[in-house]
Amino acid sequence: MLYTVLIASLAATVSADCSRDFLKSATDAYVAAQSSGKPGNFSTFTTQDVVITENNNGTSTNSSLMATPIKLDFNRSFHDTVQCATFTELIAASNPHPFVIHTRMTFSNQKATLIESIVTDAGDWLFNATGTLNLVTPEDWSPIPTEKQNTRAVIQSVGDAYFNRFGNTSVVVPWGPPCVRVEGGLAAKGNLTGDDCIQEWPSTIKMPYRRYVVDEEYGVVDIFTGFPGLDRTQGDAPMPDSHLFRVENGKIKFLHTASACVVSGCGLNGTFGGSFTRRRVPVHF
């Protein structure tokens, strides 16, 4: 299924030609459809054979989580007019079943060809929807003045440097204040010296299958990837993962993660919200 996702992404990139206004109308319609649990309301934005995945598993429109109404406390979307792609962050802390969802969509001829979501809930990596909501809502993600915007190449390179550092200790990650990573619902704080932030890193992990959404107006790159070894019960199998970066002046300003596991607790003996019970991925209710 991941191969199918990558092919769909490539096809959308080759034929990408769309406006910010169109992409905004698409993400608005997606959020409304997810809130109401009526995916048919989004069908005007999709091809008949749209590829839909949740945590890298294929599903259909009516079987997807979009068919379940979710009370959303927070949503934020970004728009890539070069790749004709969008990213949406959803937080449902007060929903009876809390979720944090990252969704990436690619479009061709004003129709979505791919809708891929990282759907996280209790038992996923450091999941805490209330914690996520409390941490992200005070942040300032307003548009960056044109004269201060970084190029899309610079913005993407910052995200790539972050992931490249996982397997190469010589990589320098440009990271400034406040030096905090919102990882699941946890504030992972680094060491800030002046305007330079140093975080803790692994050093032997290669991060594969990267898919990007870049929005220069907001200094944003989101990267969908596979995170090897995240779920300790799955060996080195890459787990579904999304990292959302806000880049200002060529450095990471904010960072949010959403990472899904196959087994509740990710094989860590239930130390952050789950025992060893196998979960259905994707999760449908």
pLDDT digits (tens, 9 = 90+) for 210-239: 999 999 999 999 999 999 999 999 999 999
Domain assignment present for 55: yes
In a domain, 208, yes or no: no
Rounded to whole angstroms, the Cα distance separating 108 from 15 reads 6
Binning pLDDT at 50, 70 and 90, where does residue 181 land? very high
What is the domain extent for residue 59?
2-120
Residue 282 has pLDDT above 60, yes or no: no
* % the chain with pLDDT above 90: 86
- Which has the minimum average pLDDT: 4-8, 175-179, 203-207, 265-269? 4-8
What's the pLDDT band for 168 if we cut at 50, 70, 90? very high
What's 55's domain CATH number? 3.10.450.50
Cα of 133 vs its chain's centroid, Å:
15
Helices (H), 219-271: none
Task: Determine which of 56-70, 106-120, 194-208 has the lowest per-residue pLDDT on average.
Answer: 194-208
Report helix, strand or coil for 28: helix
Q: Identify whether 54 is part of a domain.
A: yes
Query: Percentage of the chain with pLDDT > 70?
Result: 88
Question: For the chain, what is the total number of helices (H) and then of strands (E)?
Answer: 4, 14
Task: Tell me whether residue 86 is in a domain.
Answer: yes
What pLDDT, on a 0 to 100 scale, did the predictor assign at position 97? 98
Categorise residue 154: left if φ over 0, alpha if ψ from -120 to 50, beta otherwise: alpha
Residue 20 placed within a domain: yes
Q: Which pLDDT value is given to residue 2? A: 57
Residue 67 domain flag: yes
Report the sign of the C-alpha dihedral through residues 115, 263, 72, 34, in that order.
positive
Stronger pLDDT, 119 or 16, i.e. the higher one: 119
Q: Tell whether 190 is covered by a domain.
A: no
For residue 145, count other CB atoms closer than 10 A to its CB. 8
In a domain, 283, yes or no: no
The CA distance from 40 to 19, in Å, is 23
Query: Chain-wide mean pLDDT for the chain?
Result: 91
Residue type at position 225: T
Centre a 10 Å sphere on the Cβ of residue 84 and count the other Cβ atoms it contains. Answer: 25
Q: How many residues does the chain have?
A: 285
User: Which range has highest mean pLDDT (2-16, 144-158, 256-270)?
Assistant: 144-158
- pLDDT, residue 5, reads 54
Cβ–Cβ < 8 Å for 47, 112: yes
**Mean pLDDT on 244-260:** 98
Structurally, the chain folds into a number of domains equal to: 1
